[in-house]
């Protein structure tokens, strides 16, 4: 299909970036509204579709599948063309995927507001959407692996392994976890029940985090960080070892979401041990990224894009340290069911996923239209808003979570509970207030970025870029 195309297909990349930014704004705004509902519980005005339980899955699905996956498709298509020295395989399919995916997120979001909800976290969409996701995901795989198959460069660059692992593993866990018997168009019953359903769900839930929010975004890091730093990846060997260790060990870690729950103890213990093992490949990758920037530190003063990416690595290190710690049963007994979990998720989602995506987009957007960023000053403001918002968010949720966890467990000298649930809940009000402000700050930064991109790209055509000549030392014999 793509035989005689001379230029990279960057129009579809640009469109996916635009959709990703739109979903970021929408889903984060929903998040801020949810935070406000926990402070002022009556602002749902008695409307079912504004109710916390229906909006919350819209927030998480909007971020993961709208913002996150659109960003991964955009950056994946951009980098796979450049690392393979060929335009996209099956470009029409890529366009179909681009719009099909947005339609899916849009209609899926409406279905969540209507109360179509499987209640399995990050897999809330009902069966018709699950089938649509599967079909679109196959399109993603065809375009991505097809491009690798027609590559002109013999070695497959490391970023592509991570995008590849994302496509393969997410497909498997999505299909297995969503197996269900449909009853009506909007309702199905899971093929698994009770404890077994829980084990399957968290095998999915943890690896959606693992291979999508961690692995996929590591693919982004491996291409865009060296590009921006102007240096090759620090250690190629380390990246190889870390990739396989990551792919092997992540899949085991799910049961740490079910510590002390009614599942077999050997499953919990295995999940805990493998979560601790996971620290090694996670930090190996972080060190590899930080060392790549080392020697180009002076660029941090002038380049907002690089600033975002370096900061995202710091939060990546923080979250991948915190995760294994929370997977230890004796820590988990305090943290489980508390706002600490919410803080942990957001140190990953805001500090790592959003920041690395913002950094990558600040790099990508001006290049796609062949101009300078509209305002570096606004981008720098965005950086500080993002940092302040993330810090305030996770610190307030740590404080809330740790105190919740300890107060729930607290017994007085006679062995009676020290505090009622109601009193502990009521004491959360200041933390929830701070979290709402933190979310607002972060959202404000994202809005600045959206405006900056609009001004950068408006009435500009996508630059046409030709694949460069292939170095014969690495070329594929044709």
User: Is the CB of 69 or the CB of 258 nearer to other proteins?
Assistant: 258
Q: How far apart are CA 199 and CA 258, in angstroms?
A: 8
Q: Residue 326: name the closest of 399, 396, 256 by CA.
A: 256
Q: How far apart are CA 428 and CA 399, in angstroms?
A: 9
User: Is the CB of 229 or the CB of 253 nearer to other proteins?
Assistant: 253
Q: How far apart are CA 133 and CA 138, in angstroms?
A: 9
User: Is the CB of 65 or the CB of 383 nearer to other proteins?
Assistant: 65
User: Is the CB of 172 or the CB of 378 nearer to other proteins?
Assistant: 172
Q: How far apart are CA 171 and CA 211, in angstroms?
A: 10
Residues 76, 144 contacting (CB under 8 angstroms): yes
CB of 414 to other proteins, least distance (A): 11
CB of 279 to other proteins, least distance (A): 16
Q: How far apart are CA 34 and CA 46, in angstroms?
A: 15
User: Is the CB of 8 or the CB of 252 nearer to other proteins?
Assistant: 252
CB of 204 to other proteins, least distance (A): 10
Q: Which residues contact 254 (CB under 8 A, 6 or more apart)?
A: 199, 202, 203, 204, 205, 206, 207, 271
Instruction: For residue 308, give Cα distances in angstroms to 232, 262, 382.
Output: 19, 42, 10
Q: How far apart are CA 144 and CA 306, in angstroms?
A: 26
Q: Is 85 left (phi over 0), alpha (psi -120 to 50) or beta?
A: left
User: Is the CB of 124 or the CB of 303 nearer to other proteins?
Assistant: 124
User: Is the CB of 116 or the CB of 442 nearer to other proteins?
Assistant: 116
């Amino acid at each position: 299909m793509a035989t005689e195309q001379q230029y990279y297909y960057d129009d579809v990349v640009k469109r996916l970036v635009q959709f990703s930014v739109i979903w970021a704004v929408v889903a984060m705004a929903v998040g801020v509204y949810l935070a406000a509902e926990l402070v002022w519980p009556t602002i749902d005005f008695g409307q079912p579709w504004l109710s916390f339980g229906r909006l919350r899955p819209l927030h998480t699905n909007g971020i993961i599948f709208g913002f996150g996956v659109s960003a991964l498709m955009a950056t994946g298509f951009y980098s796979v063309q450049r690392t393979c020295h060929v335009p996209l395989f099956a470009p029409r399919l890529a366009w179909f995927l681009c719009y099909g995916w947005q339609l899916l997120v849009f209609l899926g979001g409406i279905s969540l507001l209507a109360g179509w909800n499987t209640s399995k976290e990050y897999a809330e969409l009902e069966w018709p959407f699950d089938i649509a996701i599967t079909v679109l995901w196959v399109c993603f795989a065809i375009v991505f692996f097809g491009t690798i198959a027609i590559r002109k460069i013999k070695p497959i660059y490391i970023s592509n392994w991570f995008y590849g692992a994302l496509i393969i593993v997410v497909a498997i866990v999505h299909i297995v976890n969503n197996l269900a018997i449909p009853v009506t168009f909007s309702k199905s019953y899971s093929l698994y029940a009770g404890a077994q359903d829980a084990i399957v769900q968290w095998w999915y839930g943890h690896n959606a985090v693992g291979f999508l929010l961690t692995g996929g975004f590591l693919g982004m890091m491996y291409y865009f960080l060296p590009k921006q730093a102007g240096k090759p990846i620090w250690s190629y060997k380390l990246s190889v070892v870390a990739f396989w260790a990551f792919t092997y060990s992540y899949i085991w870690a799910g049961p740490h979401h079910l510590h002390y729950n009614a599942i077999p103890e050997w499953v919990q213990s295995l999940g805990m041990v493998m979560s601790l093992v996971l620290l090694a490949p996670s930090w190996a990758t972080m060190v590899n990224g930080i060392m790549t920037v080392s020697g180009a530190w002076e660029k941090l003063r002038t380049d907002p894009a690089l600033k975002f990416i370096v900061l995202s690595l710091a939060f990546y290190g923080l979250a991948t340290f915190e995760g294994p710690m929370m997977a230890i049963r004796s820590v988990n007994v305090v943290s489980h069911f508390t706002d600490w979990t919410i803080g942990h998720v957001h140190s990953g989602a805001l500090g790592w996923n959003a920041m690395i995506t913002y950094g990558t987009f600040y790099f990508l957007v001006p290049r796609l239209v062949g101009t300078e960023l509209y305002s570096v000053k606004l981008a720098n403001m965005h950086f500080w808003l993002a940092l302040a918002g993330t810090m305030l968010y996770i610190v307030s949720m740590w404080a809330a979570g740790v105190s919740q966890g300890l107060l729930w467990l607290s017994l007085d000298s006679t062995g009676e509970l020290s505090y009622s649930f109601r009193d502990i809940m009521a004491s959360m009000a200041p933390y929830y207030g701070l979290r709402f402000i933190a979310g607002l700050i972060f959202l404000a930064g994202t809005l600045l970025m959206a405006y900056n991109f609009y001004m950068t790209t408006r009435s500009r055509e996508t630059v046409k870029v030709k694949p460069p000549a292939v170095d014969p030392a690495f070329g594929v014999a044709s």
